[in-house]
Structure 1
Amino acid sequence: MLQVAREQVAAGDDSLQLNAIARLAGVGVGTVYRHFPNQHALREALSAERFGELVAEAQAAADAEDALAGLQRLLRFALARALEDSGFAAVLESAADAEAHTSELKAELDRAVAHLLDRARATRAIRRDVEADDVRRLLCGVEHAVRAGDGDPGRTEVYLDVLMQGLRPPR
């Protein structure tokens, strides 16, 4: 079922209609719904590997010598992945998770980002009132802004720079 869903997405169809996936996978609709009660649960399953990569990148950024540079690298990495994969972006921005595994990955991500933010705060490189969840939400906002634009890749850097400047403490 996951392979069929991956093939559909690769072919440009990210609608993930569970009935169509059942038919293409040669299984009953009930089988698909038992594993994936809704499309969001399927998106989570398809995004698990990418989410694991993001968590690893966040942990590496948290251990970087320069916390602010680590944060900027993490934001660039996460934004690139979200722009490559709209399903992953939807999972990243979702307030509710269908699967416990996704919630665990988000918690790991938040812990790594919180550690990174604490290190950056210690050097007074970022605001004191920004939390890990705020960074994720702001990044999702940048992803939406890039998608809503005309596709100019230069805007991505402009938007990331605006985000980074907004994370800095007030003068």
Structure 2
Amino acid sequence: MAARSGQGTGLRPDAARNRARILQVARERVAGGDNSLQLNVIARLAGVGVGTVYRHFPDRHALVEALSVERFRELVEQARAASSAEDALEGLRGLLRFTLDLALDDPDFATVLSSAGDARAQTSGMKAELDEAVAVLLDRARLSGAIRGGVEADDVRRLLCGVEHAVRSGEGERRELYLGVLLEGLRPPR
């Protein structure tokens, strides 16, 4: 089906409006402090049937992925900038800090970032873009002797999600320490 909504989604205009309204209501709920994102509540508040919500977002995770698109775009842009930093290790340090801040600010985004399975092809594509930019950065850092061999972009993403979990469970007091431990662990063995 050709895209008619102007959003490149391939949805009919009424379906695109419904999807946009569902996302708007979900964003408002999250901004208001309700992260439960119960699909039946979202449907009622959006003025659509529950079946309409499930057609667009088969489960809560799919909705969370759709809400995470802007965060992923920010992160991919930051990763690309870090991959061209003059000092690769400083670029990596800045990227890790930026990513940790995003994950701590938005636990649902952290869940999507660490998830092994994606509900939407767009999420998988964004993870691939992120991993590609991080791989360039890691290659540069390896060439300069700043990090050990064998560490891939996906490893860094998962390790950082572990740091996010540790920081969150400790109420954020040891954020810099944990980030430093991660960076030290990426260095070549002595």
TM-based fold match above 0.5? yes
Identify the match of residue 183 of structure 2 among 139, 164, 168: 164
Measured on the aligned residues, the alpha-carbon RMSD in Å equals 0.6
Match of 2:107 in 1: 86
Pair 1:150 & 2:171 matched: yes
Deviation at 1:11, TM superposition (A): 1.2
Match of 1:66 in 2: 87
Match of 2:11 in 1: none
Pair 1:27 & 2:48 matched: yes
Instruction: Name the aligned partner's letter for residue 110 of structure 1.
Output: D
Alignment: residue pair count: 169
Indicate the SS of the match to 1:80: helix
Deviation at 1:150, TM superposition (A): 3.0
Provide structure 2 residue ranges, at least 5 long, that are not aligned to the other structure: 1-21
Larger radius of gyration: 2
Pair 1:95 & 2:116 matched: yes
Distance in 1, Cα, partners of 2:179 & 2:171: 16
Relative contact order, higher structure (CA 8 A, sep 6+)? 1
The TM-score with structure 2 as length reference comes to 0.88
Instruction: Name the aligned partner's letter for residue 90 of structure 1.
Output: T
Distance in 2, Cα, partners of 1:51 & 1:9: 17
Moved over 6 A (4+): none
Q: Deviations over 1:61-114 (max 9, x none)?
A: 001110000000000000000000011111100000000100000000000000
The TM-score with structure 1 as length reference comes to 0.97
Indicate the SS of the match to 2:119: coil
Provide structure 1 residue ranges, at least 5 long, that are not aligned to the other structure: none
Distance in 2, Cα, partners of 1:161 & 1:34: 44
